[in-house]
Amino acid sequence: MSVRHALLALLSEGPKYGLQLREEFEARTGEVWPLNVGQVYTTLQRLERDGLVESEGADDGPQKAFQITTSGAAELATWLRTPPDLSSPPRDELVMKILVAIRLPGTDVPELVQAHRRYLVQLMQEWTRIKEGAADDDLSLALAVDAELFRLDSVVRWLDAADARLKRAAADGQARPARAPLPKQRRHIGARG
C-alpha cells in the first residue's frame, strides 16, 4: 500500500491537516491499514521535498495545512494507471517451504500442507467475521476484506492443487521427483529479476 499516493489522493479533494489526513486514510481503507501519525508527517515532508505538495502556514505544528501541487496531481494520475508489480518470479515463502519439504526425508508433506491450509482458513474466518460485522454501507471495508479473502483463497487453492499433484506423483512412484537433476531449462525458472 502506497501511503504516499493515498495522501495525494486525499489532498486532491482540497487542503488538509496532518491529523485529518490520518483519520480520513483509516476511514477510507475500512480501517484495515492502521497508520501512525508519525508516518503521515514523514510522508508529507518527503512529498513537500519532491514538490508534490506544499504547505500553508509558517509553523510546523498540527495547524499546518497541506495542498497538492500540479505535479502532485500528475503523479497521482500516473500511479493509478501503473500496474502493481505482479510480474516478479515466484519467491513466495509458502511455495519455498513446500519445495523444501518434498526434498527433506522424513517430512509428512500432506500433514504440512494441511497445517498451512488450516492456518489460512482460520485467517479467512477472522476476515469473514469482520465483513459480517461491518455496516452495509461500509463499502471501503467490504472491498478491502474481499481483497484479503480472495488473496488467501488463492493460496488455499494452490495448496489443494499441490496436495493433489503430490498424491498423483506418489501414486506414480515419484514421491521425491527433485532427487534427479533438473533439466537445464527448468533450473532457470525464478532466476529472472
Should residue 168 be labelled a site residue for other proteins when binding is judged by CB under 8 A? no
Q: CA-CA distance, 82 to 88, in Å (whole number)?
A: 15
Among 10, 124, 162, 166, binds other proteins (CB under 8 A): 124
- Contacting other proteins within 133-162 (CB under 8 A): 133, 149-150, 152-153, 156-157, 160
End-to-end CA distance of the chain, in Å? 22
Should residue 120 be labelled a site residue for other proteins when binding is judged by CB under 8 A? yes
Among 104, 121, 147, 178, binds other proteins (CB under 8 A): 121
Should residue 36 be labelled a site residue for other proteins when binding is judged by CB under 8 A? yes
Nearer to other proteins, 56 or 146 (CB): 146
Contact yes or no for 94/116 (Cβ under 8 A): yes
Which stretch, 79-87, 92-100, 118-126, 170-178, contacts other proteins (CB under 8 A)? 118-126
Nearer to other proteins, 50 or 146 (CB): 146
Q: What is the DSSP letter of 134?
A: S
The dihedral sign for the CA sequence 63, 65, 43, 37: positive
Q: What is the DSSP letter of 104?
A: S
| Measured CA distances, 160 to 76, 77, 98, 118, 167 (Å) | 39, 39, 12, 12, 11
* Coil, strand or helix at 53: strand
State the number of binding residues for other proteins (CB under 8 A).
32
Q: Cβ 125 to other proteins, closest distance in Å?
A: 5
Q: CA-CA distance, 67 to 55, in Å (whole number)?
A: 6
Among 122, 137, 181, 193, binds other proteins (CB under 8 A): 122
User: Of 125, 166, 168, which Cα lies nearest the Cα of 145?
Assistant: 125
Binding flags for other proteins, 4-33, as an x/- string (CB under 8 A)? ---------------------------xxx
List strands edge to edge, sheet with 65-68: 16-17, 65-68, 53-56
Binding residues vs other proteins (CB under 8 A): 31-34, 36, 110, 114-115, 117-118, 120-130, 132-133, 149-150, 152-153, 156-157, 160, 163-164
